[in-house]
Amino acid sequence: MTLPVLPNIRREPFSAEGPVATSFTLLFRPLWPVIVPATEWMRSSELSARSIPDTLLEPLRIWIMDCYPQGTLVEKLIELGDGLHLPERDPLDEKEWADPLWRASQMLWVRAAEVLSRPIPPAVLEEMSEVSGLRTTSIETLLPAIQLVFAGARHFFQSRKAVVPVVPDRDDLALLLKEAAGRGITAWCFALTLLMTSRNEIDIILPTARAVAHVQPDARLWLELCDHAITGVYELFTVRCDRISREVTRIRPAERAERRVLLWLEANEQATMHALIRFAGRCSVYGAVAAELMEAVAKAAKAQFSLLVEEDRLIAWPVTAWPDSLMISFETGNRRFRQLVSLGASFSRFADYRGGIEQLVAHYMDERITGLGVAEKIHACEMLEASSSPSSLLTDYLQLLPSPARGRIFVRRDVSLTMPWSASAR
């Protein structure tokens, strides 16, 4: 195989398009927290034990995707993930197909785990070494740790839709961490970092990891790695949010055919950060790094939300009746807006988001948005408005209906208004 030279992924040069879905991003995007520039990786013995050099990613992708029988299906699912279509299968009967990008990601992770479980021929290793600038021995050391991550994808890569912290099974988690420890320090660091950045309940992750560390031959070393991992996660998220703020503020809203499929800062990532900040409130040792993260994520979340609102007002929605697939994606997008508002407001204040929501509500009620009926418009606006009382839109609509509907105005109690992390088991 011929391996092209890969640009520095971690530096992520500015792109006016923002995050886009490709087989490369779906495969490696969950690994961004443990990827650093190759120059930094080779300078630091600490980084080389806890990270993947970015120049290794493209050679790995080519090896993983070479002769992949389902590669065409993955590309088709990526095409279907643009928000305007759904797969042929019924998303109500097979919910895992309702999010084509998530399904494509799952297929890619399974493929990666299977391919990396087999020995890589020496000739391929040599070519990977030449392209990535790494020694073959370094690559051979990294591969078992990377394979472990893809094999345990269900623990590390949580669905994009839900934002409630995941409560993993303690026994399954202990087995995973024991296997990671058995593969060495690099696999252990990968596992801890990704578990903490993947919306897993930290009140379960950290005690379980420390319990596994206690039974290792050099318990003190493994326990120190636990402490380094959680501190490092705060710093990783802070750096990520600072970069997002810079990139988003350089983008000017432009007319789009549909809403963005991938965001810079997804709702579940924000939920993870909020859980970490709350955890620091109970463990004051992490107070300083948590405060820095709080400031960084508040700025990034607000910048992204403002851009999304401006883009939404420029979308050329169809003027005819909307098909079910578009309506489903529209509903999903409104729910995501609601989550971003609830989470973003937890880092700063709701007043920072009120103006954007009011702009969207006014926009959807405009007569030029002809693809939605009156009731559908009201439903969309009700979903966006974070209020504990009936909106004026609903009140006015009910006044047009005959009794007894007119007398059924009530104070809305929407469980989705509660903070998404409040449902987690303690």
Token pair 């600038």 in the structure block, residue: 133
DSSP bridge partners of 207: none
Pick left, alpha or beta for residue 241 (phi over 0 → left; psi -120 to 50 → alpha; otherwise beta).
Answer: alpha
Alpha helices in 66-119 (DSSP H): 71-80, 100-116
Whole-angstrom distance, CA of residue 231 vs CA of residue 237: 10
What lies within 8 Å, CB to CB, of 370 at 6+ separation is 319, 320
- Angular region, 385: left φ>0, alpha ψ -120 to 50, beta rest: beta
Spell out the per-residue pLDDT of the chain, length 426, in tens: 443 333 333 444 445 578 888 999 999 998 988 998 888 888 888 888 889 999 999 999 999 999 999 999 899 888 877 655 555 555 556 665 567 888 899 999 999 999 999 999 999 999 999 999 999 999 999 999 999 999 999 999 887 767 888 888 999 999 999 999 999 999 999 999 999 998 888 889 999 999 999 999 999 999 999 988 888 899 999 999 999 999 999 999 988 888 888 899 999 899 999 999 999 888 778 889 999 999 999 999 999 999 999 999 998 888 888 877 778 778 888 989 999 999 999 999 888 999 999 999 989 888 777 788 888 888 888 888 865 455 565 566 566 666 655 455 444 444 444 444 443 333
What are the phi and psi torsion angles at 362 (to 5°)? -65, -35
Look up residue 373 and give its two tokens. 């009926």
d(CA 318, CA 326): 10
Contact (CB, 8 A) for 158 and 199: yes
Q: How many CB atoms lie within 10 A of CB 195?
A: 28
Query: DSSP state, 5?
Result: P
Residue type at position 118? R
Model pLDDT, residue 422: 41
Q: How many CB atoms lie within 10 A of CB 27?
A: 23
* 386 Cβ contact partners less than 8 Å away, ≥ 6 residues apart: 338, 341, 342, 345, 350, 357, 417
Written as one letter, the residue type at 335 is R
311-341 core/surface letters (b: 16 or more CB in 10 A; e: else): bbbeeebeeeebeeebebbbeebbebbbbbb
Task: Report the alpha-carbon distance of residue 209 to residue 411 in Å, rounded.
Answer: 45
The whole-angstrom separation of Cα 408 and Cα 388 is 16
| 3-class DSSP state of 36 | strand
What confidence score (pLDDT) does residue 43 get? Answer: 86
How far apart (Å, rounded) are the C-alpha atoms in residues 57 and 70?
Answer: 20
DSSP 227-283: HHHHHHHHHHHHHHHHHHHHHHHTPPP---SS--SS-SS-HHHHHHHHHHHHHHHHS
Q: What does the alpha-carbon distance between residue 426 and residue 422 come to, in Å, rounded to a whole number?
A: 9
Q: Phi and psi at residue 10, in whole multiples of 5°? A: -65, -35
Distance CA 332, CA 145 (A): 35
Q: How many whole angstroms separate alpha carbon 198 and alpha carbon 176?
A: 15
pTM (two decimals): 0.81
Q: What's the rounded Cα separation, in Å, for the pair 42 and 31?
A: 19
Helix (H) or strand (E) holding 363: helix 351-364
Q: Is 165 helix (H, G, I), strand (E, B) or coil?
A: coil
Collect contacts of 69-78 with beta carbons under 8 A, ≥24 apart.
Answer: 70/107, 70/111, 71/23, 73/107, 74/23, 74/26, 74/104, 74/107, 74/108, 75/23, 77/101, 77/103, 77/104, 77/107, 78/21, 78/22, 78/23, 78/26, 78/104
